Structure 1
Amino acid sequence: MLTELELKLLESDAHRTSRMSACNFVIRKEKIEELAQIAFNISHKSHVMAFWTLEFVCEKKLKMFVPFIDSLCEVLPKLTDDSAIRPATKICYFLAKSNHRKNGITLSHEQEHNIIEALIDRLIQEEKVAAKVYAMKALFVFGKKYDWINNELKEILVQDFPNHSAAYKSASKHILKKLNK
């Protein structure tokens, strides 16, 4: 027997309105724990849709996600589906930005380390451009706290620049310009 959330995820699709409807359902019904469990269970048939919805929940109500950051850190290196990697990487970007703000979420040193490591891996592995762009943006934010990240990020972007698409080049140029200031 499927839960109400599982049914909602199964009837969802990739369209923004559909994902936003699922997001609003999760927030209204306080189903973020179940959503996170589905997203982080790679073998669940709605794992990808759960990540798509979780991205929207984190964009709207990131503080709701705090109890699940450790679980995200555990699953990040295990993700293999491009459709789950992109929203997971974007969630890392939201966390990095919030962690950098005065009244934002405070990540533990271990959480920062795990996220940074996963983002660097995503940046150097064969991934779709969107995941790489969110990884470089998040790493840039973390680099404001940890200088060594800027050096590593700069080296990766310069080395990989000639081998990627126009979208990757555009994003990396933007980050490199900021790193060179």
Structure 2
Amino acid sequence: MTTAQLYKELNYVNHSREKRLYYANLMQDNPDLLPSLLDILFRVDDKIAPRAAWVFEFMCNADIETIIPYLDMFTENMYKVHLDSAVRPVAKICEFLAKAYTSKTNNKIKNTLTKTHKERIIEVCFDYMINNEKIAPKAYSMNTLFLLGKDYDWVHPELALILERDFQMQSSGFKARARHILKKIKKE
């Protein structure tokens, strides 16, 4: 399947779990299509880009290690994504990576995620926290920053500062997650 053919196929992806799962499985069965999927995902002004992001998120949720050959490409370009419906899955994938990296069980992400990858993820998550993003990317980002911040002295204090500063102006969902993260930071 060419990139053009995959692009046409992504027109059939919608919000339904069934469709996202179908295409995520298609990607896992055909890993040679992943560069094309990422190419479409990073066409950031294209209305099909979020559909590629949804599929990539589902694929990473099923097996985060499938991202390994594309970590450089993903982390180098994720900051460009700006459409709300594509930002959420990108933030979620960052959280998947952080959870795998900080997991107690051994996995390939721990050995593959470089300092550069982590710094790019931290940077994009801080951008999501301070920019006018919806609650979901902010929630995934604060968790990612908490997890990856254990390796950096400056991340937790900066995250706490942002959470406390924005607390009163945010939704109840943000406040609940922020309270939880702030409690964890204070325990550290």
Q: In the TM superposition, what is the alpha-carbon distance from 1:32 to its structure 2 partner? A: 1.9
Q: Percent identity?
A: 36
Report deviation, 1:34: 1.8
- Paired residues in the alignment total 181
Q: Which stretch shifts more, 45-54 or 131-140?
A: 45-54
Paired residue for 2:150, among 141, 144, 152? 144
Q: How does 1:24-35 map to 2 (within 5 A)?
A: 24-30=25-31, 31-35=33-37
* Gap change, CA 1:94 and 1:2, over 3 Å in 2: closer
Counterpart AA for 1:123:
M
State the match for 1:119 in structure 2: 125
Q: Distance in 1 between the 2:145 and 2:45 partners?
A: 29
Alignment of 1:156-175 (within 5 A): 156-175=162-181
Q: Letter of the aligned partner of 2:100 in structure 1?
A: S
Amino acid aligned to 2:53: F
Q: Deviations over 1:162-181 (max 9, x none)?
A: 01011111111111111112
Residues 94 and 144 in structure 2, CA contact (< 8 A), matched pair in contact too: yes
CA distance in 1 between counterparts of 2:138 and 2:172 reads 13
The answer to whether the Cα contact below 8 Å between 2:126 and 2:141 also exists between their aligned partners in 1 is yes
SS of equivalent to 2:63: helix
Q: In structure 1, list runs of 5 or more residues that go unmatched.
A: none
The one-letter code of the counterpart of 1:14 is: H
- The letter of the residue matching 1:6 is Y
- Which residue pairs with 2:97 in the alignment? 95
Contact 2:6/2:37 (CA < 8 Å) preserved in 1?
yes
User: 1:49 offset after TM fit, Å?
Assistant: 0.2
Unmatched segments (≥5 aa) in structure 2: none
Contact map agreement 1:93 1:135 (CA 8 A) in 2: yes
Amino acid across the alignment from 2:142 = M
TM-score by length of 2: 0.89
TM-score, L = length of structure 1: 0.93
When structure 1 is superposed on structure 2, of 14-23 and 49-58 the one drifting more is: 14-23
What amino acid is aligned across from residue 103 of structure 1 in structure 2? N
CA distance in 1, matches of 2:90, 2:150: 21
- Shift of residue 6, structure 1, vs aligned partner: 2.4
